[in-house]
Structure 1
Amino acid sequence: MSNENMGTIERLVIATLGEDVARRTLDMLAIDPALLGERGDTVSRAAFAMAMNVALFDDLLRRVPSGDAYVADTLARGGKILFDHGALRSIRFPHGTTGALPGGEDAFTRIFLPLGYEMAAIYPLNRLKMTGRAYRHLDFPEAIPQFFLSELHVERFDAEFANAAARIFGSSRDPLDAKAKAVLAHYEAGETVQIVDAIAALPVILSAFDRQHEPPGFEDYQLLLSRSNEAAWIATEGNGFNHATDRVADVAALAERLKAEDRPMKEKLEVSATGRVRQTAFRADSVERLFADGELRQVPGSFYEFISRDIDPETGRLDLAFDTGNATGIFAMTSAQSGAAR
């Protein structure tokens, strides 16, 4: 198929992932035809955002074998994945940046806001000493995946923790170059972007969803782990996708089937205060990570999640909210008990 006849999202994803991987990943996902129908030499913010999410979904499956196996099984059953949201974790120091990287959620709001996302709600995660925020796309709120972006507040911990965090995260670099920032500036100004510029910028922007600091010292990692599973996770995984989520019709029934198949399921279903949002997940897969002493160790990696959303009777639309209790329960999937460093 010539570029002229190819959809914008398809062109972006193929240029980023290569044709075989791109087509396989696009075929996995149930994407709104209105998004796939965009064509031409310019790229809307919605098409860029969706292409970015397709590439992030591929990255998650590469790192999460349990999720990859579930997706393969879903496709074999004739289904597709409705990508509901992805989650990210970040570090917030009380003052200034994180090395060369903007602090906490600022590292990602500079991407999300120009691409058409808005902050939909704040979710205090006080037990974890974190704050979560939901970012929802203005143009296609139900069709483009949301982001659940959390930041861990270093000042809520003791001085020993803060010093270890400074040693680990102080080496962070800023992955965005001038060309990627220029593309985001065009979107922020309400303009479309030439496809050649979008193709060049997308891999750079995707590199923001990774670890930006040097491998952590093992003693510092253990100190963070003794206070916060989430901080230890960020020390090895950085700002990589923490999980991707499949929106399904009946998550309770799916969970029972997956448990019967001996998949690595969370025991308890998380139900929001409204009862309209129900979530569960696989436990995090273990990954091997390099530490500053040159040793490779097994640590908890990312995971795959499932969600069902009901209609909000007040709006007549899908309830796209999250829930503090649900989020806190889901965060436990990457706890040390799921795969402590050794």
Structure 2
Amino acid sequence: MMEPDMSAVERLIEAQLGTDATRRLLEVVEIDATIGSGDGEEVTRGEVAMALGACLFDGLLHAVPSGAAYVEDRRAEGGKVCFDHGAIRTILFADGPTGALPAGQLAFSRILEPLGYAVAGLYPLPRLNMTGRAYCHLDHAETVPQYFVSELHVDRFDEDFGTVAARVFGQSRDPLGSAARTLLDTLSATQKAPFAVAAAGLPELLAAFGRHHDIPTLDDYHALRAASPEAAWIATEGNAFNHATDRVADVEALADRQRALGRPIKDRVEVSANGRVRQTAYRADPVIRSFRTDDGQIEQQVPGSFYEFITRDSDPETGRLDLSFDSGNATGIFQMTKVA
């Protein structure tokens, strides 16, 4: 077991990942010590939110070797990652839910809002037939990671695309069970929960960030990909953490260093319209996924998740860190999963 004086956030993480993995994670991810209430028997919504984000970050590193290599570099340098935000993609049909899942981003608003998040910005992505929403934490805006939740609008494509999308995503299952619902209901009512309730509910919250529909057929995958690489990505990866983002002091200098190391960094840095938010990313690491065929199953290489970097300047009007996003930046970053 870890030290008895560890924080509630650290104890929640340990309950999910185990002692050794938690120790390694805490060596490289910044955790705001002011998030906690100081009461070991109850945890605040901010503590649960930070523990969830940290566990998702750990899972992404297991899925993204390029990101894990970068984080190991930071560990070797004695530095830590400032986890700025993660991203999730969802499917939105014109009418009704996505199978048993609530429609589009509602599948995650029902999780994020009880954890203390609220929509801080709406970002149209017309070139992708998508819309993004930024969820920022109400209690700890700068230190608890944000979520960029996007919806793919099926009704903006043609009828054939809609038929395939319904076949692939229309029978999605709902991963939330009674433990998660108890935790979310408790946090909604009081903004805190008993530690045992939080520890029991977190595995089901983590499970929400995955694929909840059946393996697609190879033909359906290619039909989706021809019209929308983003839909094809959701077909294989579901609502998995699409990327995690490190907030750094100088993203341009970092990109130059990563390029010199031969890392798969994006060719250029995306700059927001106001100039205060600058982003770049590694290209998605390839993964092997199964597809159904008439003869059984076949495996193919497809794009997986990736690791991103962001620099945020202060807003001169408020003096606070500019936590906004930018539709142009987001569209550029989405390109990272077009090829593996």
TM-score (norm 2): 0.97
Q: What does residue 89 of structure 2 align with?
A: 89
In 2, distance between residues paired with 1:38 and 1:258?
40
1:3, distance to aligned residue in structure 2 (A): 7.8
Q: What does residue 146 of structure 2 align with?
A: 146
In 2, distance between residues paired with 1:292 and 1:177?
28
Q: What does residue 192 of structure 1 align with?
A: 192
Q: What does residue 300 of structure 2 align with?
A: 297
1:18, distance to aligned residue in structure 2 (A): 0.8
Give the paired residue count. Answer: 337
Q: Which amino acid aligns with 2:304?
A: G
Q: Which amino acid aligns with 2:60?
A: L
Q: Equivalent residue of 2:35, what SS?
A: helix
1:316, distance to aligned residue in structure 2 (A): 0.5
In 1, distance between residues paired with 2:292 and 2:92?
22
Retained in 2: the 8 A contact 1:15–1:199?
Answer: yes
Query: Which residue of 321, 333, 340 maps to 2:336?
Result: 333
Q: What does residue 8 of structure 2 align with?
A: 8
Retained in 1: the 8 A contact 2:37–2:44?
Answer: no
Q: For 1:92-143, what per-residue CA distance to the aligned partner results, in whole angstroms no more than 9, with x for missing partners?
A: 0011111111110010000000100000000000010000000000000000
Retained in 2: the 8 A contact 1:10–1:36?
Answer: no
1:300, distance to aligned residue in structure 2 (A): 0.1
Q: What does residue 251 of structure 1 align with?
A: 251
Q: For 1:241-274, what per-residue CA distance to the aligned partner results, in whole angstroms no more than 9, with x for missing partners?
A: 0000000000000000111111001001100001
Retained in 2: the 8 A contact 1:9–1:38?
Answer: no
Change (3 A) 1:2 1:81: closer
Retained in 2: the 8 A contact 1:281–1:330?
Answer: yes
1:4, distance to aligned residue in structure 2 (A): 5.7
1:178, distance to aligned residue in structure 2 (A): 1.8
Q: Equivalent residue of 1:35, what SS?
A: coil
Q: Which amino acid aligns with 2:319?
A: G
Q: For 1:280-316, what per-residue CA distance to the aligned partner results, in whole angstroms no more than 9, with x for missing partners?
A: 0000000011112321111000000000000100110
In 1, distance between residues paired with 2:215 and 2:89?
17
Q: Equivalent residue of 1:5, what SS?
A: coil
Q: What does residue 269 of structure 1 align with?
A: 269
Retained in 1: the 8 A contact 2:57–2:244?
Answer: yes
Q: What does residue 325 of structure 2 align with?
A: 322
CA RMSD of aligned residues (A): 1.2
Retained in 2: the 8 A contact 1:7–1:37?
Answer: no
Q: Which amino acid aligns with 1:44?
A: T
Deviates more, 1:2-11 or 1:68-77: 2-11
Q: What does residue 41 of structure 1 align with?
A: 41
Retained in 2: the 8 A contact 1:236–1:289?
Answer: yes
In 1, distance between residues paired with 2:9 and 2:298?
40
In 2, distance between residues paired with 1:202 and 1:279?
30
In 2, distance between residues paired with 1:116 and 1:36?
14
In 1, distance between residues paired with 2:58 and 2:289?
20
Q: What does residue 130 of structure 1 align with?
A: 130
Q: Equivalent residue of 1:312, what SS?
A: coil
Q: Which amino acid aligns with 2:159?
A: A
1:197, distance to aligned residue in structure 2 (A): 1.1
In 2, distance between residues paired with 1:286 and 1:8?
36
Q: Which amino acid aligns with 1:158?
A: D
Q: Equivalent residue of 1:289, what SS?
A: strand
Deviates more, 1:206-215 or 1:33-42: 33-42
Q: Equivalent residue of 1:50, what SS?
A: helix
Q: What does residue 54 of structure 1 align with?
A: 54
1:36, distance to aligned residue in structure 2 (A): 5.7
Retained in 2: the 8 A contact 1:244–1:303?
Answer: yes
Q: For 1:139-179, what per-residue CA distance to the aligned partner results, in whole angstroms no more than 9, with x for missing partners?
A: 00000000000000000000100010011001210000122
Retained in 2: the 8 A contact 1:172–1:213?
Answer: yes
Retained in 2: the 8 A contact 1:289–1:298?
Answer: yes
Deviates more, 1:30-39 or 1:279-288: 30-39
1:38, distance to aligned residue in structure 2 (A): 3.7
Retained in 1: the 8 A contact 2:37–2:43?
Answer: no
Retained in 2: the 8 A contact 1:277–1:310?
Answer: yes
Retained in 2: the 8 A contact 1:6–1:39?
Answer: no
Retained in 2: the 8 A contact 1:4–1:40?
Answer: no
Q: Equivalent residue of 1:168, what SS?
A: helix
In 1, distance between residues paired with 2:31 and 2:182?
28
Retained in 2: the 8 A contact 1:81–1:246?
Answer: yes
Q: Which amino acid aligns with 2:220?
A: D
Q: Which amino acid aligns with 2:207?
A: S
Q: Which amino acid aligns with 1:300?
A: P
Q: Which amino acid aligns with 1:295?
A: I
Q: Does 2:309 align with 1:306?
A: yes
